[in-house]
Chain A
Amino acid sequence: MATLKDKAAIVGIGQTDFAKRLPEPEKTLACRAILGALDDAGIAPSEVDGFASYTMEETDEVEIAKAVGAGDVTFFSKVGYGGGGSCATLAHLAAAITTGQADVGVAWRSRKRGSGPRPWTGTAVQLPTPAQWTRPFGLLRPADEIGMLARRYMHEYGATREHLFNVALACRNRANQNPAAMMYERPLTREMYMTSRWISEPLCLFDNCLETDGALACVIVGAERARDCRQRPVYIHSAAQGLPAQHHGMVNYWNDDPLTGPAWTAARQLWKRADFGPQDVDVAQIYDAFTPLIPLSLEGYGFCRRGEGAAFTEGGALEIGGRLPLNTGGGGLSEAYVHGFNLINEGVKQLRGTSTAQVPGAGTCLVTAGEGVPTSAVLLRS
């Protein structure tokens, strides 16, 4: 059977500044990130013939391709479910390149979430959740929807706010090492966490990701071409999407086990096609729109068993030098929230050896997309 294993590689990454407010529009930011990624790869924009992004991305291939000076484009796709689509953009491009539909693919995300509207404030539009069963009752925001699963998880498995703090702290500590992170100069203490305001009990301010303006992009080519590029290639070893049977999106309350989310489905597919397992992952970039997604994902991707995700975070396990260094650029909680694309670029930096919080000798990295919604994940290797 044909597989994607190591057939395509990320050879360029680009990003803009991250801030609460950037003056330039999303299209300009997208172009800057994409041209930066192409320059990083040493590939001319005219060679780009494939694009992939998110359905929530406001800029489209037509506008982007003509602005950056792409050539004839023969593959383009968009993936749904917000941050659940991040890694799938790479999977789609890798599949397109491996099957000869394109040679040079660009994935991107540009978003003015920091200064622009938050999706949940829309009252006329139906969000991609079964809103009639949830929103009138005041379950309005993703923080409320995930908070509901978080309290149940804490109840069933004895997880506490100390565990959620471990997650927030690990991400903040890495951001404090990363000059590009929004929280670079803002250390977090246990006292700050425990006394911060509630957003949706049991989740407090520091359990929630940042609101960011910014854009990122990466460039993917076939393995053979990758060897001739300017940067050390980072191979896409395995990739998967995940929509579990009877899953309901972020309000996944209506099946046998609501706490078994899309991560489990994506993980089964991801590991089935990989030459290594969870114990061989040197560093992980796990989608962290909310802190409880980390223990859930640690279980889903097989780093520990069901119910052990919270305990896994103890003893500095997520810090540099720990069992599984996490979100080494600061993640969505403390670097930037751009629907998880910064996790992809950080994974590439780790495997190039250029992270601001480098894990010594890192050769494998798991990157995941939003858990709690139809999701995706990739295993990267150097």
Chain B
Amino acid sequence: MLQPVIDDDGAPFWEYAARGELRLQACAAPACGELRFPPRPCCPQCGSFDSEWRRMGGRGRIWSYVVPHPPLLPGYTELAPYNAVVVELWDAPRIRLVGNVVAAPDAPLNSVDPARLRIGAGVRVVFDGDGMPRWLLERS
């Protein structure tokens, strides 16, 4: 399985994720405070280079999803068909995170029957043992 190839801007996200926290970059200029994703050096709204990592509620809904089939990369081929989703966060609808809906925090990417996925379905974030965010269906 691929590990995230982390860049300078993204590093804090993964550090917080390893501690089980979903935090997103926000502008720290008092008059602005705009959330942004993916992380970047300065605020596209106001130009400030000051940022903070804001704790998010971790609930959202499925914006879209795909079910990949081979040809895929090693580690993924064995799990196919699995799901990959884009989750829209309740507390920041313009922020969407790519992830996977799983049956339990450490369950594999194919642990939920794709037929149970729906656009709009409620999900909440959990973190697996490697600090990767995963998503559980709210109604399971």
In the complex, which of the residues A132, A248, A251, A258 contacts B4, with contact meaning CB atoms closer than 8 Å?
A132
B37 within 8 Å of A (CB atoms): yes
Q: A138-B84, A255-B94 are in contact. Are A152 and B63 (CB under 8 A)?
A: yes
A44 within 8 Å of B (CB atoms): no
Complex Cα gap A200–B85 (Å): 12
Q: A138-B109, A198-B81, A200-B69 are in contact. Are A126 and B86 (CB under 8 A)?
A: no
In the complex, which of the residues A151, A248, A253, A256 contacts B66, with contact meaning CB atoms closer than 8 Å?
A151
Q: A133-B98, A148-B86, A248-B38 are in contact. Are A140 and B66 (CB under 8 A)?
A: no
Complex Cα gap A268–B82 (Å): 39
Q: Is the CB of B7 within 8 A of A132?
A: yes
Q: A132-B4, A132-B6, A134-B98 are in contact. Are A148 and B76 (CB under 8 A)?
A: no
Q: Is the CB of B73 within 8 A of A132?
A: no
In the complex, which of the residues B3, B66, B73, B119 contacts A201, with contact meaning CB atoms closer than 8 Å?
B66
A162 within 8 Å of B (CB atoms): no
A147 within 8 Å of B (CB atoms): yes
Q: Is the CB of A198 within 8 A of B5?
A: no
In the complex, which of the residues A134, A144, A248, A254 contacts B94, with contact meaning CB atoms closer than 8 Å?
A254
A130 within 8 Å of B (CB atoms): yes
Chain B residues whose C-beta falls within 8 Å of the C-beta of A132 in the assembled complex: 4-7, 10
Chain A residues whose C-beta falls within 8 Å of the C-beta of B44 in the assembled complex: 246
Chain A residues whose C-beta falls within 8 Å of the C-beta of B109 in the assembled complex: 137-138
Q: Is the CB of B66 within 8 A of A148?
A: yes
Chain A residues whose C-beta falls within 8 Å of the C-beta of B68 in the assembled complex: 138-141, 143-144, 147, 199-201
Shortest distance from the beta carbon of A158 to any chain B beta carbon, whole Å: 13
Chain B residues whose C-beta falls within 8 Å of the C-beta of A161 in the assembled complex: none
Chain B residues whose C-beta falls within 8 Å of the C-beta of A199 in the assembled complex: 68-69
A279 within 8 Å of B (CB atoms): no
A131 within 8 Å of B (CB atoms): yes
Nearest neighbor of A145 in chain B, beta-carbon distance: B66
Number of residues from B at the complex interface, CB < 8 A: 37
B124 within 8 Å of A (CB atoms): no
Give B21-40 as 1s and 0s: 1 = Cβ < 8 Å from A's Cβ atoms. 00000000000000001100
Complex Cα gap A203–B64 (Å): 13
Q: Is the CB of B100 within 8 A of A202?
A: no
Chain B residues whose C-beta falls within 8 Å of the C-beta of A126 in the assembled complex: 5
Q: Is the CB of A137 within 8 A of B100?
A: yes
A230 within 8 Å of B (CB atoms): no
In the complex, which of the residues B1, B38, B84 contacts A148, with contact meaning CB atoms closer than 8 Å?
B84
Complex Cα gap A232–B44 (Å): 48
In the complex, which of the residues B38, B67, B86 contacts A200, with contact meaning CB atoms closer than 8 Å?
B67
Nearest neighbor of A131 in chain B, beta-carbon distance: B5
Q: A201-B114, A256-B94 are in contact. Are A136 and B1 (CB under 8 A)?
A: yes
Shortest distance from the beta carbon of B116 to any chain A beta carbon, whole Å: 14
A218 within 8 Å of B (CB atoms): no
Chain A residues whose C-beta falls within 8 Å of the C-beta of B1 in the assembled complex: 136
Q: Is the CB of A254 within 8 A of B96?
A: yes
Which residues of A, 209-237, contact B by the 8 Å Cβ criterion?
A: none
A195 within 8 Å of B (CB atoms): no
Complex Cα gap A138–B86 (Å): 12
B132 within 8 Å of A (CB atoms): yes
Shortest distance from the beta carbon of A22 to any chain B beta carbon, whole Å: 22
Shortest distance from the beta carbon of B66 to any chain A beta carbon, whole Å: 4
11 cross-chain CB contacts under 8 A: A121-B73, A137-B132, A138-B76, A138-B82, A138-B84, A140-B2, A141-B72, A148-B65, A155-B64, A203-B66, A254-B38
Chain A residues within 8 Å of B, Cβ to Cβ: 121, 123, 126, 130-141, 143-144, 147-149, 151-152, 155, 197-203, 246, 248, 251, 253-256, 258
Chain B residues within 8 Å of A, Cβ to Cβ: 1-7, 10, 37-38, 44, 63-69, 72-73, 76, 79, 81-82, 84, 86, 94-100, 109, 114, 119, 132
List the 3 closest A-B pairs by CB distance, nearest first: A152-B64, A201-B67, A147-B66
Contacts A139-B66, A151-B119, A254-B38 known; 11 new A-B pairs at CB < 8 A: A126-B5, A132-B5, A132-B7, A144-B66, A148-B66, A148-B86, A200-B69, A201-B81, A254-B94, A254-B95, A256-B94
